[in-house]
Structure formats: C-alpha cells, structure tokens
Amino acid sequence: MPGKIWFVGAGPGDPDLITVKGRKLLEAAGAVLFTGSLVDQAANLYTPPDCEIRDSKDMTLEEMTDWLLDAAHRHATVVRLQTGDPGLYGALIEMTRPLTAAGVDWAVVPGVSSAMASMAAARETLTLPEVTQTVILTRVAGRTPMPPGEELEALAAHKTTLCIYLSITLLHKVQEALLAAGWPGTAPMLVVQKASWPGEEKVVRGTLADIKQKCQAGKIGSQAMIVASPTLGAADWPDLVRSKLYDPVFGHRFRKAILAPENPA
C-alpha cells in the first residue's frame, strides 16, 4: 500500500512557527517536497538525515504530483511543505485531485498565515469591539484575475480589516482602490515584509497617501503583507470600547456579573 501524503503549512517564515504536528511529520518523513527558499529552514532543520528532500521551485504542477505519487510508493510518510497555510493561495485542490484519483491517501495540517504573523510583528489587532469584527483576506488582480464582485474597491467599501496578499508590486492599485472606496488619504496603513523571518523582518507604517513612498524608501518589493484597517494604531488611542467578555458587568456561565453601583461617587 502507498504511504500517506501530508500537506503541511510551515507558517510565515520562522521555522519555530510550524505546528507541533507539522514538525513531528517532518521528523518522520521519508520524503519532503518544499516550496523554494520560503520554507527551506524548516525542511532541513527537522527532517531525518536520510530524508529525500526536493525543492519544487522549478517544477510544474504535474511534475510535483508525479514526484509525490512516486515518493508515496517508496515511503510511509511524505510531506508537501508549503509556506503559510496550504489552503490559502496554494494549489491544494489542483494537487490533491490526482492523488485521490490514484487512490493515495492525503491530509492537511494547517499553518500560521502571514496575515496573523504581520499583525503580531506590528503589535496590532485584526479586530476591535465596535470598530470592526470582520477580516477580509484578499489580493489585487494581476496575472490571476479576481472573480466578479471581488474587486478590491468593492471589498474595501466595507471599511473592515483588509489583509492584502501578493500585491506589494501593485501597491499603487491598492491605493487607487481604497481611495475610490472612500478611505481617506490619512487612513493608517501597515506593510510587513518577511513577517517572523529571523533578522529579515521589516515593518513599515504610513498612511494611504504615503505608504508606497515609504515602501520604496525601505526597498520593499516582494514577500510583503499589506494591511489596511480601522484598528491600526489602537494602542495609542485615548479611549477604547471594552470587550464585553471581560467586562465585570457582563456575566456568563464561568463568572457572575458584578453590578455597577446605581449612583457612583
């Protein structure tokens, strides 16, 4: 019987951010197919000395599928190691359909996405009570078009947190779309390059009007997350709406409410 193929999210870059399950699978793997230089540290840190390791950066989808199928007939555990999470901007379904057709078992181990890593690096939050409770993960149309109704201007009209992937070279289009959607030029913006990468992470803050200029000055032209959010900079706001979950007057099954006095001094 063929072995099992695991699609493992390696996380945003720091090899320590791979999940415990993902690391255990790498430690047991007979073969690993990893995505270029993005996750090479994790591929080489945790695999056994005799593990067959292949970089997929020069391979087509068909070549990767053939490699995985061949490896599964020689090893009990095969890992396809991908940056971030396998289900986000990856070819997961394209790659697994031939595996299913060939009768080879496969499963997915989720990973930390660069959106979360970027906000962690900047010490920001994706959501805030009564500010926004919605996060949109998207990208700008480039060689891959966006489906109808998912144009950035349409999504930006919701005025929620936008985490914009794979678009740093199209930052001018991001600016145009947000301005057209009614965001002011003074709206705070965040760009994080190589979030969590030891010694390589860069955090750039600016406004919608000047973020492109600041990224150019910082020589940021690849592997960067763009964040537009009404929550940015909240740590310095004079007032915040408290979370109801932790408010003493808000009771739940684990804690009784502490009623506020009717006539406080």
Read off the pLDDT of residues 61-119 as tens digits, 9 standing for 90 and up: 999 999 999 999 999 999 999 999 999 998 999 999 999 999 999 999 999 999 999 99
Q: Which residues are 81's β-sheet partners?
A: 8, 34
Give the Cα separation of 17 and 46 in Å (integer).
13
DSSP state of 264: -
Domain ranges of the chain: 4-109, 114-236
Pick the CATH number of 4-109 from 3.40.1010.10, 2.60.120.10, 3.50.50.60, 3.40.50.150: 3.40.1010.10
pLDDT classification of 138: cutoffs 50, 70, 90? very high
Using CA atoms, how far residue 192 sits from 39, 66, 110, in Å, is 18, 35, 22
**pLDDT on residue 39:** 74
How confident is the model over 129-149, as a mean pLDDT?
94
**pLDDT on residue 144:** 85
Q: Which of 4-18, 32-46, 122-136 has the least mean pLDDT?
A: 32-46
114-236 in CATH: which number?
3.30.950.10
Read off the pLDDT of residues 180-225 as tens digits, 9 standing for 90 and up: 999 999 999 999 999 999 899 999 999 999 999 999 999 998 999 9
11: alpha, beta or left? (left if phi > 0; alpha if psi -120 to 50): left
